[in-house]
Amino acid sequence: MNACDRRIQKELIDLKKNPIPGIHASPKSDSDLHEWEATIEGPADSPYEGGTFCIDISFPPSFPFRPPKVRFRTKIYHCNITRSGIICLDILKGQWSPVLTLNKLLLSILALLTDPNPSDPLVPEVANLLRSDKASHDANAREWTARYAKK
Protein backbone atom coordinates (compact mmCIF):
# COMPACT_ATOMS: atom_id res chain seq x y z
CA MET A 1 0.00 0.00 0.00
CA ASN A 2 1.46 3.36 -1.04
CA ALA A 3 1.48 6.57 1.04
CA CYS A 4 -1.60 7.97 -0.71
CA ASP A 5 -3.63 4.82 -0.03
CA ARG A 6 -2.46 4.71 3.60
CA ARG A 7 -3.57 8.31 4.10
CA ILE A 8 -6.97 7.68 2.49
CA GLN A 9 -7.40 4.61 4.72
CA LYS A 10 -6.55 6.81 7.73
CA GLU A 11 -9.19 9.34 6.60
CA LEU A 12 -11.80 6.57 6.39
CA ILE A 13 -10.96 5.35 9.91
CA ASP A 14 -11.08 8.93 11.23
CA LEU A 15 -14.50 9.54 9.67
CA LYS A 16 -15.84 6.36 11.30
CA LYS A 17 -14.36 7.28 14.71
CA ASN A 18 -15.40 10.94 14.54
CA PRO A 19 -18.54 11.20 12.42
CA ILE A 20 -19.81 14.68 11.60
CA PRO A 21 -23.54 15.10 12.24
CA GLY A 22 -25.35 15.57 8.94
CA ILE A 23 -22.42 14.36 6.82
CA HIS A 24 -21.67 10.87 5.55
CA ALA A 25 -18.70 10.00 3.33
CA SER A 26 -17.27 6.70 2.14
CA PRO A 27 -15.60 5.06 -0.84
CA LYS A 28 -17.96 4.26 -3.72
CA SER A 29 -16.64 0.69 -3.77
CA ASP A 30 -14.39 -1.55 -1.71
CA SER A 31 -12.02 -1.94 -4.63
CA ASP A 32 -11.18 1.75 -5.19
CA LEU A 33 -10.27 3.96 -2.24
CA HIS A 34 -9.72 6.96 -4.54
CA GLU A 35 -13.37 7.53 -5.51
CA TRP A 36 -15.77 8.56 -2.75
CA GLU A 37 -19.23 9.93 -2.41
CA ALA A 38 -20.57 12.05 0.40
CA THR A 39 -23.92 13.43 1.46
CA ILE A 40 -24.41 16.67 3.33
CA GLU A 41 -27.69 17.55 4.96
CA GLY A 42 -28.68 21.16 4.47
CA PRO A 43 -27.95 23.01 7.71
CA ALA A 44 -30.85 24.07 9.94
CA ASP A 45 -31.82 27.73 9.64
CA SER A 46 -30.36 27.91 6.13
CA PRO A 47 -32.22 27.95 2.81
CA TYR A 48 -30.79 24.45 2.24
CA GLU A 49 -32.50 22.97 5.32
CA GLY A 50 -34.40 19.78 4.54
CA GLY A 51 -32.28 18.86 1.54
CA THR A 52 -29.58 16.23 1.18
CA PHE A 53 -26.79 17.09 -1.24
CA CYS A 54 -24.63 14.47 -2.94
CA ILE A 55 -20.96 15.19 -3.50
CA ASP A 56 -18.28 13.30 -5.43
CA ILE A 57 -14.75 13.21 -4.03
CA SER A 58 -11.80 12.00 -6.08
CA PHE A 59 -8.38 11.62 -4.46
CA PRO A 60 -5.44 12.15 -6.84
CA PRO A 61 -2.38 9.87 -6.60
CA SER A 62 -0.52 12.86 -5.12
CA PHE A 63 -2.91 13.13 -2.14
CA PRO A 64 -2.35 14.47 0.56
CA PHE A 65 0.07 16.83 -1.15
CA ARG A 66 -2.66 17.86 -3.60
CA PRO A 67 -6.29 18.39 -2.63
CA PRO A 68 -9.02 15.98 -3.59
CA LYS A 69 -11.30 17.01 -6.44
CA VAL A 70 -14.71 17.71 -4.99
CA ARG A 71 -17.92 18.57 -6.81
CA PHE A 72 -21.60 18.71 -5.99
CA ARG A 73 -23.60 16.13 -7.91
CA THR A 74 -26.85 17.67 -6.63
CA LYS A 75 -27.79 20.99 -8.20
CA ILE A 76 -27.63 23.80 -5.67
CA TYR A 77 -28.41 27.52 -5.85
CA HIS A 78 -25.22 28.99 -4.37
CA CYS A 79 -22.90 31.79 -5.41
CA ASN A 80 -19.79 29.69 -4.71
CA ILE A 81 -20.95 26.51 -6.46
CA THR A 82 -21.51 26.33 -10.23
CA ARG A 83 -24.39 24.59 -11.97
CA SER A 84 -21.94 21.78 -12.81
CA GLY A 85 -21.01 21.41 -9.12
CA ILE A 86 -17.59 23.05 -9.04
CA ILE A 87 -16.90 24.59 -5.62
CA CYS A 88 -15.03 27.83 -4.94
CA LEU A 89 -13.28 27.11 -1.65
CA ASP A 90 -9.77 28.30 -0.85
CA ILE A 91 -8.65 24.96 0.63
CA LEU A 92 -9.54 23.20 -2.62
CA LYS A 93 -7.18 25.53 -4.45
CA GLY A 94 -4.09 27.39 -3.24
CA GLN A 95 -4.73 27.05 0.49
CA TRP A 96 -4.61 23.25 0.58
CA SER A 97 -2.17 21.72 3.07
CA PRO A 98 -1.33 18.06 3.72
CA VAL A 99 -2.30 18.59 7.38
CA LEU A 100 -5.92 19.20 6.35
CA THR A 101 -8.19 16.21 6.75
CA LEU A 102 -11.28 15.12 4.88
CA ASN A 103 -13.28 15.90 8.04
CA LYS A 104 -12.05 19.51 7.94
CA LEU A 105 -12.77 19.76 4.22
CA LEU A 106 -16.33 18.49 4.64
CA LEU A 107 -16.90 20.86 7.57
CA SER A 108 -15.67 23.74 5.37
CA ILE A 109 -18.16 22.80 2.66
CA LEU A 110 -20.93 22.60 5.26
CA ALA A 111 -19.92 26.05 6.57
CA LEU A 112 -20.10 27.42 3.01
CA LEU A 113 -23.80 26.52 2.98
CA THR A 114 -24.50 28.70 5.99
CA ASP A 115 -21.96 31.39 5.17
CA PRO A 116 -21.61 31.95 1.40
CA ASN A 117 -18.87 34.26 0.14
CA PRO A 118 -20.46 36.65 -2.39
CA SER A 119 -17.20 38.61 -2.71
CA ASP A 120 -15.53 35.61 -4.42
CA PRO A 121 -18.37 34.12 -6.48
CA LEU A 122 -18.35 31.51 -9.21
CA VAL A 123 -21.93 32.50 -10.06
CA PRO A 124 -22.01 36.33 -10.06
CA GLU A 125 -25.77 36.66 -10.62
CA VAL A 126 -26.47 34.60 -7.48
CA ALA A 127 -23.95 36.67 -5.52
CA ASN A 128 -25.53 39.91 -6.75
CA LEU A 129 -28.99 38.74 -5.68
CA LEU A 130 -27.64 37.65 -2.29
CA ARG A 131 -26.17 41.14 -1.75
CA SER A 132 -29.15 43.09 -3.11
CA ASP A 133 -32.16 40.98 -2.05
CA LYS A 134 -31.34 38.22 0.45
CA ALA A 135 -35.01 37.23 0.82
CA SER A 136 -35.33 36.51 -2.93
CA HIS A 137 -31.98 34.73 -2.94
CA ASP A 138 -33.07 32.51 -0.04
CA ALA A 139 -36.42 31.80 -1.72
CA ASN A 140 -34.58 30.65 -4.87
CA ALA A 141 -32.21 28.50 -2.80
CA ARG A 142 -35.16 26.89 -0.96
CA GLU A 143 -36.91 26.23 -4.28
CA TRP A 144 -33.81 24.55 -5.76
CA THR A 145 -33.36 22.56 -2.54
CA ALA A 146 -36.96 21.30 -2.74
CA ARG A 147 -36.59 20.50 -6.44
CA TYR A 148 -33.13 18.87 -6.57
CA ALA A 149 -31.91 17.86 -3.09
CA LYS A 150 -33.27 14.47 -2.16
CA LYS A 151 -34.99 14.31 1.18
- How confident is the model at residue 30, as a pLDDT? 86
Domain that holds residue 60: 3-148
Active-site residue 88, yes or no? yes
- How confident is the model at residue 94, as a pLDDT? 86
Beta bridge partners of 41: 52
Residue 118 DSSP label: T
- How confident is the model at residue 26, as a pLDDT? 95
- How confident is the model at residue 150, as a pLDDT? 79
Strand 69-72 with 23-29, pairing: unpaired
**Which one of 4, 54, 79, 88 is the catalytic residue?**
88
First-to-last CA distance in the chain? Answer: 38
Q: What is the CATH number of the domain that holds 91?
A: 3.10.110.10
Number of structural domains (the chain) is 1
- How confident is the model at residue 23, as a pLDDT? 95
Rounded CA-CA distance 75/81 in Å is: 9
- How confident is the model at residue 145, as a pLDDT? 97
Q: What contacts 140, CB < 8 A, 6 or more positions away? A: 77, 126, 129
Q: What is the mean pLDDT of each run of 10 residues along the chain (151 residues)?
A: 91 93 94 95 96 97 95 98 95 92 95 94 96 97 95 69
